[in-house]
Amino acid sequence: MSSSPSSPTVLKRWIAFELRKLRELADLSRADAGRAVRGSEQGIGHIENGRSLPGPLQLDKLLDLYGVPERSEFFQQLRARAKKGKDWWINFDFTSEVLPEYFKLFLGLESCAASIESFDAQVVSGLMQTKPYTEAVIRGVEPEIPEEEVQRRVELRLARQREVLGRAGQPPLLWSVIHESALRTPVGGVDVAREQLRHLLHLVEEPHITVQVLPMSVGAHTGIEGAFIYLAFPPELENDPGTVYVDTRVKGYYYEQPEEIAVYRAAMRRLQAQACQPEETPALISRIAKEL
């Protein structure tokens, strides 16, 4: 993992998150903060929602107002990196249908995460999918979309894999719990499904990747309501509780309050305890491949 997140999306989010928390700890309103920087309550709202960055002088005044002027140098460094950085997907000509606005935050978070834990009930996690498997998933979900858009969505998913799994330096720790039924579903046909299983066997050989299979024999379980992803970030983004992302047919939802995240983290720990042990994964996946 990179010890210095560079995604402007992630850095703006953290600055917004931390400034809002510091203001609330100081028992000040947005209007109070706006007056202190000769701005407006709306302007402070934009900063705290991550829509805009504070100017250098604004940032110093806010930190002084919140009683933490000693943190100015650190905040200013992050602000400068947010201004200079560029999110990786800017290099791609993705339409809003392929890359909706709500998903851009997830791409930034994913690209900077120190660890990514996921539970998948229906299909293999997107970061671990082969190209033919991805194509089959996309066509299965939306069979009416044009072929060109299918290929653009495939391109986005493969680009995510290169960006995250191929990250320069140390890649993130990836821990995936997959329900056994997802591995037994012949997505794209038996040949495509078997190729996907062989790809998983290759991935679990990597020291930073862990895959567990949740057996169907477990019955009802804590992930029965659907898939989710928990992302944790490098220590440099101090006090960041992480993010849980849940995707739906219409949009994605982000859970960032500590009490919300605790619910999902507890569910993930129970799923990891119920699933087969990581060392059992290769034999189980090989058996499923033979039985397809």
- At position 182, the amino acid (one-letter code) is A
Residue 93 inside a domain? The answer is no
Percent of the chain with pLDDT over 70: 99
Identify whether residues 68 and 205 lie together within a single domain. Answer: no
Helix (H) or strand (E) holding 253: strand 252-255
Whether 264 shows a pLDDT value over 60: the answer reads yes
Share of the chain above pLDDT 90, in %: 86
90 domain residue, yes or no: no
Same domain flag for 80 and 106:
no
Judge if 62 and 176 occupy the same domain. no
Helix (H, G, I), strand (E, B) or coil at 245: strand
pLDDT at 202: 97
Q: What is the mean pLDDT of residues 177-202?
A: 97
The torsion angles phi and psi of 26, rounded to 5 degrees, stand at -80, 0
Q: How confident is the model at residue 85, as a pLDDT?
A: 86
Residues 37 and 174 in one domain: no
**Mean pLDDT, residues 4-21:** 90
CB 14 within 8 A of CB 240: yes
| Cβ partners under 8 Å of residue 236, min gap 6 | 3, 4, 5
| 177 beta partners | 119, 212
Residue 40 predicted with pLDDT over 60: yes
At residue 62, does pLDDT exceed 50?
A: yes
In the structure encoding, which two tokens stand for residue 250, read together? Answer: 């219409």
pLDDT for res 122: 94
Task: Give me the torsion for CA of 164, 169, 170, 172, rounded to 10°.
Answer: -20
Q: Summarize pLDDT for 74-123 with one digit per residue, the tens.
A: 999 999 999 998 899 988 888 888 999 999 999 999 999 999 999 999 99
Is 147 domain-assigned?
yes
- Read off the tokens for 152: 């653009």
Alpha carbons 211 and 213: distance in angstroms, whole number: 7
pLDDT of residue 97: 86
Residue ending a domain, choose from 84, 119, 138: 84
Q: What is the pLDDT of residue 2?
A: 44
- pLDDT for position 1: 38
The pLDDT-based confidence of 238 (bands split at 50, 70, 90) is confident
Show the domain range for 38: 8-84
Predicted confidence band of residue 249 (pLDDT cuts 50, 70, 90):
confident
Looking at the 3D structure of the chain, how many domains does it have? 2
Among 84, 109, 142, identify where a domain stops: 84
